[in-house]
Amino acid sequence: MKIFKPETLKCGYMTDPIGIDDVKPLLSWTIAGTVSGIMQAAYRISASRNKEALIDGACDLWDSGEVESSESFGITYGGKTLKTGEKCWWIVMVRDIEGDWSEPSETAYFEAGIMDRKEWKASFIGLPEHFNPRSKQAEVQAGPPLPLLRKNAVIMKAIRSALAYVT
């Protein structure tokens, strides 16, 4: 008896990425099984905002339906547009050329980054202007060695999750 399922799910060529700023990212997977040479004939992608709901079969973001295709690389996400910071949990099932459906993949996710510049709510930290070598105000002498960039914050509530976008 053959057993096969999609694995190595990726979004934007990354495993479970955060900060995706593409509204239609590319998805991909590989197929593993108990026999070699399994060829995909179709796939079905299901996506949800909630991992547990997705495992139970609910897909509030996207249900691709059965798509006749041997492609498993560069599949365009076709679901609802995510809001900044929103997670999309997704799974894949594939059908082989003999008509047998795989087990569902393990869940994977991607998280939307800041989709609109107007949403930035942070301030940038860095060197003072007179130490920036590209600045017209730069001093002739060398500035300090590599700076230590840090910011203190007081957290008033319990933290459930936190994310810092650093570039």
Classified as helix, coil or strand, 62 is: strand
Q: Is the pLDDT of residue 49 over 60?
A: yes
Tell me what pLDDT residue 99 has. 96
**Segment 141-150 mean pLDDT:** 63
One-letter amino acid identity for 101? W
DSSP, res 130: G
Instruction: Residue 76: give its domain's CATH number.
Output: 2.60.40.10
Residue 13 has pLDDT above 60, yes or no: yes
Whether 58 is covered by a domain: the verdict is: yes
- Say whether pLDDT at 10 is over 60: yes
Residue 121 lies in a domain: no
pLDDT at 74 > cutoff 90: yes
In a domain, 145, yes or no: no
Residue 116 within any structural domain of the chain:
no
Selected residue with higher pLDDT from 116 and 10: 10
Closest CA to 90 of 102, 72, 105: 105
In order, the DSSP letters of 63-78 are E---EE----SSEEP-
Tell me which residue range forms the domain holding 71: 4-111
Decide if 164 is inside a domain: no
Residue 138: pLDDT band (50, 70, 90) is: low
Give the tens place of pLDDT for each residue, 55-73: 999 999 999 999 999 999 9
Q: Specify if 139 maps to a domain.
A: no
DSSP type of residue 131: G
Question: Each residue of 76-126: pLDDT tens digit?
Answer: 999 999 999 999 999 999 999 999 999 999 999 999 998 888 887 776 666
Q: What's the structural domain count of the chain?
A: 1
Report if residue 12 sits inside a domain.
yes
Domain annotation covers residue 59: yes
In 3-state terms, what secondary structure has residue 8?
Answer: strand
* Residue whose tokens read 């070598």: 133
